[in-house]
Amino acid sequence: MVTPLTGSWRDDAVPCPNSRYGMRLRFAVLGWAAGVLAASAAFAAPFVPADDATVLERLPTRSDPSLAEFGRLQKELASNPKDPQRAAAVAQRAIAAARAFGDPRFLGQAQAALNPWWSADDPPPAVIVLRATIKQSLHDFDAAIVDLDRVLATGGDHLQALLTRATVLTVLGRYEEAKRDCMRLARRAQPLVATTCLAAVTSVSGDVDGAYRMLDAALAAPSADPQIRAWAATLAGEIAARRGDVAAADRHFAQALTADPRDGYLKGAYADFLLEQDRASAVAALLKDDTRNDALLLRLALAEARLPEHSQAFRAHRDELAARFAAARRRGDVLHLREEARFALEIERDAANALLLARDNWSRQREPADLRILAAAATAANDARTLKVVADWIAKTGYQDVWVASLRTRPRS
Partner 1 sequence: MGRVASYPTTVVTRWLVLLAAGFALPQDAHAHKPSDAYLTIERNGGALTGRFDIALRDLELAIGLDANGDGEITWGEVRRQHNAIAALAVDRLSITAAGQACPLIVTGQRIDTHTDGAYAVIDLAGRCEAESGVLAIDYRLLFDVDPQHRGLAQVVDEGVAQSLVLSADRPRAVVAGDDRLAQFMSYVREGALHIWTGFDHTLFLIGLLLPAVLVRLNRHWAPAARVSPVAVDVFAVVTAFTIAHAITLTAASFKLVEVPSRIAESIVALSIVLAALNNLRPVVARARWSIAFAFGLVHGLGFANVLAGLNLPRDVLLIALVAFNVGVELGQLAVAAVMLPLAFMFRATAVYQQVVLIGGSIVIALLGVLWFVERAFNVVLWQAR
- Interactions with partner 1, residue window 321-350 (CB under 8 A): 323-325, 327-328, 330-333, 335-336, 338-340
Q: Among residues 45, 220, 247, 395, which is the contact residue for partner 1, using CB under 8 A?
A: 45
Considering only residues 20 to 39 of the shown chain, the ones binding partner 1 according to CB under 8 A are 21-22, 24-25, 28-29, 32, 38-39
Cβ 118 to partner 1 shortest distance, Å: 7
Cβ pair 262, 239 in contact under 8 A: no
CB pairs under 8 A, 24+ apart, for 165-169? Answer: 165/132, 166/197, 166/200, 166/201, 167/136, 167/197, 167/200, 168/136, 168/141, 168/144, 169/145
From 129-137, 273-281, 302-310, 350-358, give the range in contact with partner 1 by CB under 8 A.
Answer: 129-137
Size of the site for partner 1 (CB under 8 A): 120
Query: Which of residues 62 and 388 has its CB atom nearest to partner 1 in the complex?
Result: 62
93 binds partner 1 per the rule CB under 8 A: yes
Alpha helices in 244-350 (DSSP H): 246-259, 264-276, 280-287, 294-305, 311-331, 337-342
Q: Which of 339, 337, 346 is nearest to 379 (CA)?
A: 346
Out of 80, 85, 115, 406, the only residue in the binding site for partner 1 (CB under 8 A) is 115
Q: Closer to partner 1 by CB, 132 or 381: give it.
A: 132
Binding partner 1 by CB under 8 A: which of 34, 41, 285, 391?
A: 41
CA–CA distance, 157 with 351 (Å, rounded to integer): 46
Q: Which of 90, 126, 161, 164 lies at the binding interface for partner 1 (CB under 8 A)?
A: 164
Work out whether 190 is an interface residue with partner 1 (CB under 8 A). Answer: no
Decide if residue 98 touches partner 1 (CB under 8 A).
yes
* Span 262-281, contacts to partner 1 by CB under 8 A: 262-265, 268
Exposed / middle / buried, residue 412 (Cβ in 10 Å: 0-12, 13-18, 19+): exposed
- 3-state SS class at 301: helix
Instruction: Tell me the window of 178-186, 275-283, 287-295, 377-385 that interacts with partner 1 (CB under 8 A).
Output: 287-295
108-144 core/surface letters (b: 16 or more CB in 10 A; e: else): ebbbbbbeebeeeeebebbbbbbbbbbbbbbbbbeeb
Q: Which stretch binds partner 1 (CB under 8 A): 11-19, 241-249, 278-286, 403-411?
A: 11-19
Instruction: Give the footprint of partner 1 on residues 49-68 (CB under 8 A).
Output: 49, 51-64, 66-67
User: CB 207: neighbour CB atoms within 10 A?
Assistant: 16
Residues whose CB falls within 8 Å of the CB of residue 133, separated by 6 or more in sequence, listed in order: 95, 144, 164
Applying CB under 8 A, among 30, 83, 112, 389 the residue interacting with partner 1 is: 112
Among 30, 76, 84, 102, binds partner 1 (CB under 8 A): 102
User: Should residue 293 be labelled a site residue for partner 1 when binding is judged by CB under 8 A?
Assistant: yes
Q: Which amino acid is at 198?
A: L
Contacts of 312-316 with C-beta under 8 Å, sequence gap 24+, read 316/26, 316/30
Among 117, 125, 147, 160, binds partner 1 (CB under 8 A): 160
Q: Does 42 bind partner 1 (CB under 8 A)?
A: yes
Q: Which is nearer to partner 1, 319 or 387 (CB)?
A: 319
Q: Which of residues 362-381 bind partner 1 (CB under 8 A)?
A: 365, 367
